[in-house]
Amino acid sequence: MAIQVRFAGEVVVLSAIGRLMNDPRHFDAARDVRELLDAGHRRFVLELGGVRETGPTVLGLLTTLTRAIRNEGGEAVLANVSPPMAKFIDEMRMDDYWDVFDDAHEATGFLEGTA
């Protein structure tokens, strides 16, 4: 898998997204999410702790993954968002598109309550 995946109960936590931005395998992340969706997973935390760059590439990846998840009746939230990334999401008027949490543990607790 191009993206790091760990499971917290019924919730899938996707991380190492920041490292993918300079790696051509970032295109494979959508395929990896599709495999998880096909396996029946519907609740995802996109952990952005390593994302330092802002711009259309990271925003495109996040929206692509989120759209795929939501098209299958799932939910995706963001966790561990850096201040520059939070500012960029706000400037792009995407702040209503995701629920944002301080860390993956908090995000997982929220998603576990949405069963």
pLDDT in tens, 43-62: 999 999 877 777 788 888 89
User: In terms of pTM, does the model score above 0.85?
Assistant: yes
14 by DSSP, 3-state: which? strand
**3-state SS class at 70:** helix
Q: Which of 17-26, 45-54, 73-82 has the highest mean pLDDT?
A: 73-82
At residue 114, the pLDDT reads 63
In the chain, the amino acid numbered 58 is V
Q: Would you say 72 and 34 are in contact if contact means Cβ atoms under 8 Å apart?
A: no
C-alpha 86/C-alpha 54 separation (Å) is: 9
Per-domain residue ranges of the chain: 4-112
Mean pLDDT of 1-18: 86
pLDDT at residue number 49: 82
Span 4-112 CATH architecture? 2-Layer Sandwich (3.30)
- Give me the helix-helix angle, 56-71 and 83-91, nearest 10°: 80
